[in-house]
């Protein structure tokens, strides 16, 4: 056998190293061996976040390349920030992202289930069952499980006045988060925010009307819901009034400055008279702009761009408060909330295009007197902002992620008000149903269906393990009680209350979230089982 050819090279600092030609090629495996290596990579990722499932799940600390620290137990965030090199493991990252994008909650559970299915399929491959037959069996089992979810689901009735059931669902979602100490308050904020913007007739929740802002300082208990818009800006001049009642807002995306020559042109000033003329011209233009704004009846200017000290001084002299450097998304939200129009030129500004709000005021925090601007009693009363406080940036960021999950859980109930019971109760019930269905199938797919039933047990097993219980004993006891008592609401008692009925504990999961977990995990496992080779583009095999 020929020796691998070696090449001597140096790096950018002149340090020598040797490249073996064989290093450029990765060892490749085919068929079942390749599928097993893919399963191993995906299971490794699933096992990392398995310990963060449930109300007693543990957090992960993520360190970015530039040293930023994130502490979270949100599956999508953990996987999104991990450096995953293996191609199949990246599929799990995309799986959690698709669950997060579509449903917003249940990102850890879907990856744990996919990892359990892959673990079961490895055992079936060892028994000589073809990967396609395993995938077909998983598909049949998933259909049975989804039908069982429909059968055991309960409808949750709610209205804008009576929202106790929505509150319980939001509290279930927040039970595993860093905000669990204040989860009653955070759940109430999430429910109030969703019901304020929701159209219950059309079962629609426009998320663009809910904004979540955070500021370091204070405690989580200081988090509030503002029925209006909050922006991290203050008045452009310290002597401008800090509050404006009955505000009429001119929302501008044009700069508050005179027209200037573009970059291809230049203006030469050679005498004092020319300089004075230029100064007078600028002053006239400023006065003209301010007059156009005041003629419309506006008493507050929101400007996307900045303006210099002279413009700022003139605005203050003319008693026209202004806010500058307001970003694009924020200016759009202000326009939606105040029902104003964004105006790109001063010539287009009219009284009809002004936004309206009851009061615009500055609020300040802490000893540093940081200021933010609150726009309340807006013409469009549906726009809300959740203002999160916390002792440091890490807690504020995690509280925002927790609120996002809670808002999504409530939104899912507005869209479809059917729930299944958490604590693994729905998974155990589906596992029993799939096992029964497998007994009636004569073909080889029955093995895959039984494996699917075993994989469904992975979620209650992980919940029991993370809660410090004996996993197998606890699961066996709850499963036998479900079968004997015919009560599909029995699950793992993670909180240690001595009560296994999840309806009594008010542990709810939206049906569409759980159904999506099953469907997405099964689709991913089917895709992995069908891949028997990885070919790196541009590398030939000898």
pLDDT digits (tens, 9 = 90+) for 332-353: 888 988 888 999 888 888 889 8
pLDDT of 537 strictly over 70? no
Q: How much is the average pLDDT of 439-443? A: 84
**Locus of tokens 């003319």:** 318
**By mean pLDDT, which of 9-13, 53-57, 82-86, 521-525 is the weakest?**
9-13
Domain 31-155+420-494+507-529 carries which CATH code? Answer: 1.10.560.10
296 is known as an active-site residue: no
533 is known as an active-site residue: no
pLDDT of 447 strictly over 50? yes
Per residue in 181-236, pLDDT (tens digit) is 788 899 999 999 999 888 888 888 888 888 898 888 888 888 899 888 888 888 88
Separation CA 271–CA 130 (nearest Å): 90
> Do residues 503 and 153 touch, judged by C-beta distance below 8 A?
no
Of 234, 405, 427, 457, which one is the catalytic site residue?
405
Per residue in 374-406, pLDDT (tens digit) is 888 887 778 889 999 888 888 888 899 889 888
Return the higher-pLDDT residue of 445 and 256.
445
Mean per-residue pLDDT of the chain: 84
Would you call 258 helix, strand, or coil by DSSP? coil
Separation CA 244–CA 250 (nearest Å): 13
Give the rounded distance of the alpha carbon of 72 from its chain centre. 12
CATH superfamily of the domain spanning 228-380: GroEL (3.50.7.10)
Residues above pLDDT 90, as percent of the chain: 15
Beta pairing partners, 378: 357
Residues above pLDDT 70, as percent of the chain: 91
CA neighbor of 355 nearest in space, from 225, 192, 198, 228: 228
Looking at residue 20, what is its pLDDT? 46
Looking at residue 150, what is its pLDDT? 92
Looking at residue 40, what is its pLDDT? 85
Q: Which two tokens stand for residue 342?
A: 């964004």
Region of 285 (left: φ > 0; alpha: ψ -120 to 50; beta: rest) is alpha
Looking at residue 311, what is its pLDDT? 80
What are the residue ranges of helices labelled H in 359-510? 393-415, 425-439, 445-456, 458-466, 471-485
107 is known as an active-site residue: yes
Q: Where are the domains of the chain?
A: 31-155+420-494+507-529, 228-380
Beta-carbon contacts of residue 413 (< 8 Å; ≥ 6 apart): 156, 158, 165, 166, 169, 419, 510
488 is known as an active-site residue: no
Region of 377 (left: φ > 0; alpha: ψ -120 to 50; beta: rest) is left
Separation CA 129–CA 426 (nearest Å): 29
Angle CA 448–454–459, to nearest 5 = 130
Looking at residue 171, what is its pLDDT? 84
H or E element: which one contains 506?
none
Q: How much is the average pLDDT of 303-320? A: 84
Of 70, 107, 172, 522, which one is the catalytic site residue?
107
**CA separation (Å) from 161 to 157, 166, 195, 239, 409?**
11, 11, 9, 43, 19
Separation CA 294–CA 93 (nearest Å): 54
Looking at residue 24, what is its pLDDT? 39
Instruction: Catalogue the E-assigned strands of 338-409.
Output: 342-343, 355-365, 370-378, 384-390
> Do residues 137 and 377 touch, judged by C-beta distance below 8 A?
no
Q: What confidence category does residue 450 fall into, taking pLDDT thresholds of 50, 70 and 90?
A: very high
Beta-carbon contacts of residue 7 (< 8 Å; ≥ 6 apart): 18, 19, 21
Separation CA 108–CA 517 (nearest Å): 10
Per residue in 231-286, pLDDT (tens digit) is 888 888 888 888 888 989 999 888 877 776 666 667 788 889 888 888 888 888 88
Of 74, 192, 234, 397, which one is the catalytic site residue?
74
**Locus of tokens 């502490």:** 71
**CA separation (Å) from 15 to 11, 19, 96, 211, 482?**
6, 13, 42, 52, 67
Looking at residue 346, what is its pLDDT? 85
pLDDT of 29 strictly over 70? no
Separation CA 232–CA 251 (nearest Å): 16
pLDDT of 492 strictly over 80? yes
Of 70, 77, 108, 474, which one is the catalytic site residue?
108
Q: What confidence category does residue 507 fall into, taking pLDDT thresholds of 50, 70 and 90?
A: confident
Q: Which two tokens stand for residue 177?
A: 């988060």
Return the higher-pLDDT residue of 5 and 339.
339
């Amino acid at each position: 056998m020929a020796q691998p050819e070696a090449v001597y090279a140096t790096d950018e600092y002149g340090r020598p190293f040797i490249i073996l030609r064989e290093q450029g090629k990765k060892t490749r495996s085919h068929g079942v061996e390749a599928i097993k290596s893919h399963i191993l990579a995906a299971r490794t990722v699933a096992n990392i976040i398995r310990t963060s499932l449930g109300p007693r799940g543990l957090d992960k600390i993520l360190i970015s390349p530039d040293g930023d620290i994130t502490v979270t137990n949100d599956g999508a965030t953990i996987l999104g920030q991990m450096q995953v090199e293996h191609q199949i493991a990246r599929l799990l990252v995309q799986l959690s992202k698709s669950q997060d994008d579509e449903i917003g909650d249940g990102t850890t559970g879907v990856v744990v289930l996919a990892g359990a299915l892959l673990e079961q399929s490895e055992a079936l491959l060892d028994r000589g069952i073809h990967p396609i037959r395993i995938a077909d069996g998983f598909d049949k089992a998933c259909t049975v499980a989804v039908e069982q979810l429909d059968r055991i689901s309960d409808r949750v009735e709610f209205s804008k006045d009576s929202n106790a059931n929505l509150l319980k669902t939001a509290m279930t979602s927040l039970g595993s988060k860093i905000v669990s100490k204040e989860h009653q308050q955070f759940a109430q904020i999430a429910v109030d925010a969703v019901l304020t913007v929701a159209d219950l007739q059309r079962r629609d929740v426009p998320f663009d009307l809910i904004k979540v802002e955070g500021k370091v300082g204070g405690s989580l208990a200081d988090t509030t819901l503002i029925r209006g818009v909050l922006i991290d800006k203050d008045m452009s001049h310290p002597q401008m009034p800090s509050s404006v009642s009955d505000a009429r807002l001119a929302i501008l995306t044009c700069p508050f400055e005179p027209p200037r020559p573009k970059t291809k042109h230049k203006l030469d000033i050679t005498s004092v008279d020319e300089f004075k003329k230029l100064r007078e011209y600028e002053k006239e233009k400023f006065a003209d702009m301010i007059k156009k704004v005041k003629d419309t009846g506006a008493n507050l200017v929101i400007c996307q761009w900045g303006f210099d000290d002279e413009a700022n001084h003139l605005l203050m002299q003319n008693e026209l408060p202004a806010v500058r450097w307001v970003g694009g998304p924020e200016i759009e939200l202000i326009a939606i909330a105040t029902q104003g129009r964004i105006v790109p030129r001063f010539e287009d500004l009219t009284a009809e295009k002004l936004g309206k709000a009851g009061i615009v005021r500055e609020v300040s925090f802490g000893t540093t007197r940081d200021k933010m601007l609150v726009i309340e009693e807006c013409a469009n009363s549906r726009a809300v902002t959740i203002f999160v406080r916390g002792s440091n940036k890490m807690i504020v960021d995690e509280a925002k992620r927790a609120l996002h999950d809670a808002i999504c859980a409530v939104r899912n109930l507005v869209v479809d008000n059917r729930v299944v019971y958490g604590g693994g109760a729905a998974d155990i019930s589906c596992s029993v149903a799939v096992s029964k269905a497998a007994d009636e199938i004569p073909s080889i797919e029955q093995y895959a269906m039984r494996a699917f039933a075993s994989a469904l047990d992975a979620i209650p097993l992980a919940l029991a393990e993370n809660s410090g219980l004996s996993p197998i004993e606890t699961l066996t006891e709850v499963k036998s009680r479900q079968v004997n008592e015919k009560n599909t609401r029995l699950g793992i008692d993670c909180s240690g209350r001595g009560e296994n009925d999840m309806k009594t504990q008010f542990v709810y999961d939206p049906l569409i979230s759980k159904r999506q977990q099953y469907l997405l995990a099964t689709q991913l496992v089917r895709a992995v089982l069908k891949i028997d080779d990885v070919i790196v583009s541009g590398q030939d095999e000898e």
